[in-house]
Amino acid sequence: MDLQNTVKEALNALYHHPDDAVRMQADRYLQDFQRTLDAWQVGDNLLHDPSSNLETLIFCSQTLRSKVQRDFEELPSTAFRPLRDSLNTLLKKFHKGPPKVRTQISIAVAALAVHVPAEDWGDGGIVKWLRDEMDSHPEYIPGFLELLTVLPEEVLNYKIAARPERRRQFEKELTSQMEVSLNILTACLSISELKEQVLEAFASWLRLKHGIPGSVLSSHPLVLTALSSLNSELLSEASVNVISELIHYTTAGDIDVSANMPLIQVIVPHVMNLKAQLSDSTKDEEDVKAIARLFADMGDSYVELIATGSDESMLIVHALLEVASHAEYDIASMTFNFWHSLQLNLTKRESYISYGNETCIEAERNRRLHVFRPAYESLVSLVIFRVQYPEDYQDLSYEDLKEFKQTKYAVADVLTDASSVLGGDATLKILYMKLLEAVSGHGNNEHKEWRPAEAALFCIRAISNYVSVVEAEVMPQIMALLPKLPHQPQLLQTVCLTIGAYSKWLDSASCGLSVLPSVLDILMNGMGTSEECAAAAALAFRHICDDCRKKLCGCLEGLFHIYNKTVNGEDSFKVPAEDSLHLVEALSMVVTELPPDDAKRALEALCIPVITPLQEAINQGPESLSKRPSRQLTVHIDRFAYIFRFVNHPQVVADAIQRLWPIFKAIFDIRAWDMRTMESLCRACKYAVRTSGRFMGLTIGAMLEEIQSLYRQHHQPCFLYLSSEVIKIFGSDPSCADYLKNLIEALFQHTTLLLTNIQEFTARPDIADDCFLLASRCIRYCPQLFIPSSVFPSLVDCSMIGITVQHREASNSILHFLADIFDLANSSVGEQFIPIRDSVIIPRGASITRILVASLTGALPKSRVDVVSYTLLALTRSYGMQALEWAKKSVLLIPSTAVTDVERSRFLKALSDAASGGDTNGLTVPVEELSDVCRRNRAVQEIVQEALRPLELNMVNVS
């Protein structure tokens, strides 16, 4: 009683106390209480207590529901019947409400059914038990109907801590009782006020997707009731749900659709009869949405039948076009998935394999494309207005603007689907006519003119990948029209993006060279209009320089004029610093096309506006350089990164980095404490190394000495990351062996001193991530330096400490590193090092295996199971029976209360089969099931981890 009163007081405080701190304390108390064993009895007592208020009833019903779902194993086996009887009494008590309480109790009973085998409920399991209860107590039928509704929903409720095998049995039990449940529902149809509830329960049972043949359902009273409700004045949400589920039911699983044709032939005419209501302005919008949903469901489910292009299927297509034309986007967009699926069906070769030879396949494909051509042409015209800026666009909230952008992206996808069917050039003609209409439609009224024109241009840009680069009818006219459009910011932004999208066409078109000057003028205007415009113009400039680079080699002076204005941040240009990188990339790609001597001069010109501010900062002295905000340096260093990345002249870039090294060294020396500046500088060095390769010569030695020395003091992860790139390029170069051996030994030795326990891994996940990425690179590119080194065993020990770090990237890098060690035999270079590897791994094998098993069973999040299982598989493949013995010992440590012998042996057999060359996919289900079983609730997960103790195994005394 004391505990019951405490719970009541806590609930009262939670809902009514004015002090936030008191409410939070009450909330914490109640959450902790729900995890206790006492919560069963207290929750049950308070639900039966007539004096409990609504807040108490809701809390206790939720508590009891979650206890049954998650903690049923806490109860002795004898508790099932008293618990079931109590829940049954409560279900009757609350059969008229409150609805929230009744629903929670219904879910609790359903969860109980998932846990407890059918025979414990009596002959026929819970469904027949429920039927007998309804027969005995007809006055409580509404409450029992809710239980009947939630039962099939609990099949896929993974909050219920049931074993996978038991979950499968439960699904079979329900499927076998499908007929009984439908008979119960049919009997309840005689009570007119329950019709809605009966139909909702029927829809729920249909989601099981099997059990009753379509030929039986086609004349079933429940189906006929749902269909007749479609035609009633008040459209029933429940009947729409039933028909929707029936449509999905007819195409579910591996069942041949023809087996369900009797049901399909009943459903389709009834839905088709609703078509006129789509355009009925007197209909409620929710009703129209429900009808549209049925048409969309038909389209999605019967797309393969529709794709044949029969007269009957075209009726559905025309109805879906009507849905697509609806003024409300939420309704129209219901069809978008259908147009995509239909396009795939019409264009993919697999759809026509049954037609035999290539001639027949091509003939049928052309016939179908011809049949559906008008529908897709209509669709293109229908969706354009969706992307038009609203008149009040300037007043739109951030969320509304975001929604509008998402609409535009969705329409762009529809247009690409249409282009796949019609061809890009044909789609372009339709859109060009819309653009002409938009431009000429408003005379000289520029204020109104821009929105329809912008919408048409957005659509033209969306299909750019589908328009042929030799299109000569429409594109020249569009390009001629662009300079004449008003410079309204949103329109100009889209004009710039459209120019960028058609850069390949500009390169290939016979008129491309003559068009380029006017196009570049537009981009110049864009860069001076607004930040959004300037960003679009910079991006377009990059595309044009990429695709038309050969044409632009003769225009370097003009291009450098634009580049210098942007990089120097002249007032007339509004290009944000980040977007200016597009121009750096653009010029770098044009410079790549120049012969080496010209490229050298051009590269110097590229570097001048970037070097100058950095040199000025250095000249002001170390103290001044140290105090500068990172951004003032990284904005320039990032431009170097782009230059080194995109100027593809290795020798020229190597010469440049040699000249620039004093500037880089000064920044390294003075700003090594500053992570942002170091990341930027290491990125620039990485691209210099990647582009220049072996031409780097002396500079690479100086760079490695610098980062090796600075890493000891400042522990910047990016130094490891840069070293990783160096290893990839120079790892196999014998002339660099001494440099690299010293580098990796120094870096790894220092890192293992930093990462001595799991807390350090948690505090420094970036160092862990980059350290083990570097180690994996060493295994691939210079195993001769890494594996025989003194740091190899200590790095393996370090990895064992960190496997269970919760940081995703760090954990994945460690697991990949271990897998790379185990897979060493797969590479011809690595084979010779297997004896050294084995001398390190075998003494630690049992511990590594145990940590991996612990990771599978709860030490790491469920999302990491795939990576862990691959690492375990790699270990088992390498060490065969020895590794299986390690796995067996680990799994046997888990108490039988958590894992049964059957679950254990299934996992070990699958591991053995996969390791001996069997299908690795066969490992997936047993691993996932072992993982699920060990995580099914908090108590079990704690028992498993307590048995495996992964954090106590990470250091092994090796003799």
Write out pLDDT tens, residues 573-601: 888 888 999 999 999 999 999 999 999 99
* Residue 825 sits in the same domain as residue 864: no
Question: Helix, strand, coil shares of the chain as percentages rounded to 5?
Answer: 80, 0, 20
Residue 543: what residue type? H
Task: Look at the chain and report how many structural domains it folds into.
Answer: 3
The rounded distance, in Å, linking the Cα atoms of 786 and 806 is 27
718 and 820 in a single domain? The answer is yes
Quick check: is 119 in a domain?
yes
Which range has the worst mean pLDDT, 21-25, 89-93, 523-527, 914-918?
914-918
Structure tokens at 860: 């790491």
Q: What is the SS3 assignment for 880-945?
A: HHHHHHHHHHHHHCCCCCCCCHHHHHHHHHHHHHHHCCCCCHHHHHHHHHHHHHHCCCHHHHHHHH
0.75 exceeded by pTM: yes
824 and 848 assigned to the same domain = no
H or E segment at 804? none
Give the integer Cα–Cα distance in Å for 293 and 297: 6
User: Which is nearest to 158 in space by CA: 862, 900, 864, 891?
Assistant: 862
As a whole number, mean pLDDT of residues 98-116 equals: 95
d(CA 921, CA 69) in angstroms, rounded, equals: 30
Q: How far is Cα 3 from Cα 950, in angstroms, rounded to an integer? A: 38
Q: How far apart are CA 801 and CA 912, in angstroms?
A: 27
717 has a pLDDT exceeding 60: yes
- Residue 930 structure tokens: 């072992």
- Statement to judge: residues 781 and 890 lie in one domain: no
Residue 721 pLDDT more than 70? yes
Give the mean model confidence (pLDDT) for residues 396-420: 95
pLDDT of residue 446: 47
Q: How far is CA 71 from CA 68, 390, 479, 689, 937, in A?
A: 6, 54, 69, 57, 7
Shared domain check, 816 and 848: no
pLDDT recorded at residue 215: 86
CB 805 within 8 A of CB 768: yes
Instruction: Give the pLDDT score at 954.
Output: 64
Using only C-alpha atoms, the chain has a radius of gyration, in whole angstroms, of: 35
Query: Does a structural domain hold residue 540?
Result: no
| Vertex 345 angle, CA 342 and 346, to 5° | 85
Do 171 and 79 lie in one domain? The reply is yes
Q: How confident is the model at residue 919 (pLDDT cuts 50, 70, 90)?
A: confident
Between residues 374 and 704, the one the model is more confident about: 374
Q: Is 596 inside a domain boundary?
A: no
Dihedral over Cα of 45, 47, 48, 51: its sign: positive
- Domain annotation covers residue 4: no
Report the distance separating Cα 540 and Cα 523, nearest Å.
8
The pLDDT of residue 209 is: 77
pLDDT digits (tens, 9 = 90+) for 413-472: 999 999 999 999 999 999 999 999 998 865 555 455 799 999 999 999 999 999 999 999
Residues 158 and 91 in one domain: yes
d(CA 641, CA 682): 9
| Residue 571 confidence (pLDDT) | 67
- Each residue's pLDDT tens digit, 344-366: 999 998 888 888 888 999 999 99
Instruction: Quote the pLDDT of residue 833.
Output: 94
Which residues touch 433 (CB under 8 Å, ≥6 apart)? none
Cα separation of 641 and 628, whole Å?
20
Q: What is the pLDDT of residues 154-164, one digit of tens each?
A: 988 888 999 88
Q: Which of 285-289, 397-401, 578-582, 794-798 has the highest mean pLDDT?
A: 794-798
Contact in structure between 667 and 702 (CB atoms under 8 Å): no
* Per-residue pLDDT at 427: 97
Looking up tokens 């219901």 gives 334
Please give the Cα distance from 625 to 617 (Å, whole number): 6
Instruction: Name which of 259, 348, 333 is nearest 296 in CA terms.
Output: 333
| End-of-domain residue from the set 135, 170, 203 | 203
Distance CA 729, CA 693 (A): 6
- End-to-end Cα separation, the chain, in angstroms: 61
Same domain for 920 and 818? no
The band of 511, judged by pLDDT with boundaries at 50, 70 and 90, is confident
Specify if 132 maps to a domain. yes
In this predicted structure, what is the pLDDT of residue 548? 93
The residues, any chain, with a CB within 8 Å of residue 194's CB and separated by 6 or more, are: 141, 142, 145, 188
Q: Write out the H or E segment, with its range, that includes residue 810.
A: helix 808-822
Flag whether pLDDT at 256 surpasses 90.
no
pLDDT for the residue 112: 96
826 and 846 inside one domain: no
Q: Any idea which residue has 């009703």 for tokens?
A: 287
Query: Which domain does 93 fall in, by range?
Result: 65-187+198-203
Distance CA 64, CA 400 (A): 41
How much is the pLDDT for 569? 75
- pLDDT tens-digit profile of 768-783? 999 999 999 999 999 9
Over range 805-823, report the average pLDDT: 96
590 in a structural domain: no
CA distance 266 to 218: 6
899 within some domain? yes
Q: Sign (positive/negative) of CA torsion 417, 420, 424, 427?
A: negative
Return the DSSP state at 842. Answer: G
- State the average pLDDT over residues 721-730: 93
DSSP designation for 638:
H
Say yes or no to pLDDT of 233 above 80: no
Q: Which of 105-114, 144-153, 564-573, 616-625 has the lowest mean pLDDT?
A: 564-573
Average pLDDT, the chain: 92
pLDDT at 294 over 90: yes
Residue 153, classified by CB atoms within 10 Å of its CB into exposed (0-12), middle (13-18) or buried (19+), is middle
Candidates 336, 294, 301, 299; CA nearest to 318 is 299
What the block records as the tokens of 195 is: 């019709």
> What does the alpha-carbon distance between residue 200 and residue 317 come to, in Å, rounded to a whole number?
29
For residue 806, name the pLDDT band (cuts at 50, 70, 90).
very high
- What is the model's pLDDT at position 887? 96
Counting every residue, how long is the chain?
Answer: 959
Segment 131-152 shows an average pLDDT of 92
Residues 875 and 817 in one domain: no
The DSSP result for 390-414, as a single string, is PTTGGG--HHHHHHHHHHHHHHHHH
Q: How many CB atoms lie within 10 A of CB 350?
A: 8
* AA letter at 483: P
pLDDT greater than 90 at residue 231: no
Q: What is the pLDDT of residues 844-861, one digit of tens each?
A: 999 999 999 999 999 999
pLDDT for position 898: 93
Instruction: Provide the percentage of residues in the chain whose pLDDT is more than 70.
Output: 98
Amino acid 475: pLDDT:
96
Asked if residue 824 and residue 781 are part of one domain, the reply reads yes
Nearest CA to 61 among 110, 8, 108, 2?
Answer: 108
Residue 326 to residue 491: CA distance in whole angstroms:
26
470-497 burial: b if 16+ Cβ within 10 Å, else e? ebeebbbebbebbeebeebebbbbbbbb
Region of 575 on the Ramachandran plot (φ > 0 left; ψ -120 to 50 alpha; else beta)? beta
Q: Please answer whether residues 491 and 450 qualify as being in contact, where contact means their C-beta atoms are separated by less than 8 angstroms.
A: yes
> At which residue do the structure tokens 């995109």 appear?
646
126 and 147 within one domain: yes
- Any domain includes 768: yes
Cα-based distances in Å from 4 to 19, 40, 56, 745, 774: 23, 11, 10, 64, 58
What per-residue confidence (pLDDT) applies to 448? 57
